[in-house]
Structure 1
């Protein structure tokens, strides 16, 4: 049994205030205040919001921190486009460097800080996602080129192949004399992509008279080793999209 602890309203308020202070804190530098918020960037670092006093109003910004984050991971060219869209979504301003809100009244500061923090974090997160999509697109184009160069006229994309329970559409197949010799499935590091490929290729591999089955990873290094092991249990070979033509041929 868990012992109950009696707390009065003042005790609970004190605890709540202590928790709130641990989640967010401020630092003063000159005429600016820097609020470290409970909102995080994708790398886990806290979003820091800057407040500057401007007469009877305040100027609230992320001080270019989202921009800097994007620059550090080489995504500034993607961030520039996404940041403008995020600014519109959050109804804030963006000046090619910082997200900000002009003329904030004192009683509006908590809301303004929260909005800027979330806009800054969202912009970095969406930039990373967009860059990931670009990488996958480039990797898939490489996969298509490798299959085409390795197998020529025998290569068929989006081919229908029979499994033990149903017919599946695979990303590529090597077909000669109306016989499917090998199937290739392009897989990203995303868990849903891995799970679906495992199910699909596993079902095809369960056939008695079956083709060779090959999993092609869009990003071999970023696919966790346990996930690669799971895929290996359902396919004859697991290769990287950037593998050589000879590796593709050997896998088939």
Structure 2
């Protein structure tokens, strides 16, 4: 039996107000106010929105916070392009430094603050994602180059290989005399990539007459050690994409 808690509307309002205050706070400095919102950047820090009073209107901006975040992790060149798209998506302005809305009336402030906070956070999130994709592309290009250097004409990419239960597409293989000697799978630190590679290479490794199985990590250090251990249980070798040509040969 669940006990019910009796709350009248007045006490519930008090609780709701307390929760709302805990999620946001404000500081005033001269003619500007800084609202710390419940919206956060990828690093967990809160988005602070600046309000500047000008007559009957307010100027609402992120005060260049998203721009500063991007600069701190070296993504300013990527952020500059993404910020323009974000500004259009959220119907706000962007001046190469801040997201902002001009001439906001007092009753529009809650909505304006929410829009600017979310635009600022979204811009940083998308910048991080774009940079991650660039890193993965560079790592994959290195993977292709290493395989080519290590195995020359024996190297084949995007190959179908038989597993114990089905045919699998692998990223690369070493083929000699029409026989697949080794297969390579390129894996990112993302959980879905790890899970799929574990299943694929495990199924191929379960064959009696099978090729060597090698998992190549796009970012070895950023792949959690327990995940590397899981991958090691399904493949003969786990190496970093930046491994030397000799290490690729040894793995195969």
- TM-score tier, shorter chain, comes to over 0.9
The structural deviation recorded for 1:3 is 3.4
Which ranges of structure 1 fall in alignment gaps of 5 or more residues? Answer: none
Q: Which residue of 1 aligns with 2:10?
A: 10
Q: Which residue of 2 aligns with 1:163?
A: 163
Mapped partners of 1:97, 1:174: distance in 2: 50
Pair 1:199-2:199 in alignment: yes
Q: Which residue of 1 aligns with 2:228?
A: 228
The structural deviation recorded for 1:174 is 0.3
1:1-252 correspondence runs (5 A): 1-252=1-252
The structural deviation recorded for 1:5 is 2.2
Deviations 1:17-73 (A, max 9, x none): 000000001000111000000000000000000000011100000000000000000
Deviations 1:86-138 (A, max 9, x none): 00000000000000000000000000000000000000000000000000000
SS at match of 2:6: coil
The structural deviation recorded for 1:172 is 0.3
RMSD across aligned positions (CA): 0.7
Mapped partners of 1:36, 1:97: distance in 2: 19
Greater than 4 Å deviation, 4+ residue runs: none
SS at match of 1:234: coil
The structural deviation recorded for 1:2 is 4.6
Mapped partners of 1:195, 1:44: distance in 2: 27
TM-score of the aligned structures, taking structure 2 as reference length: 0.99
Deviations 1:187-231 (A, max 9, x none): 001111111111111110000000000000000111111111111
SS at match of 2:233: helix
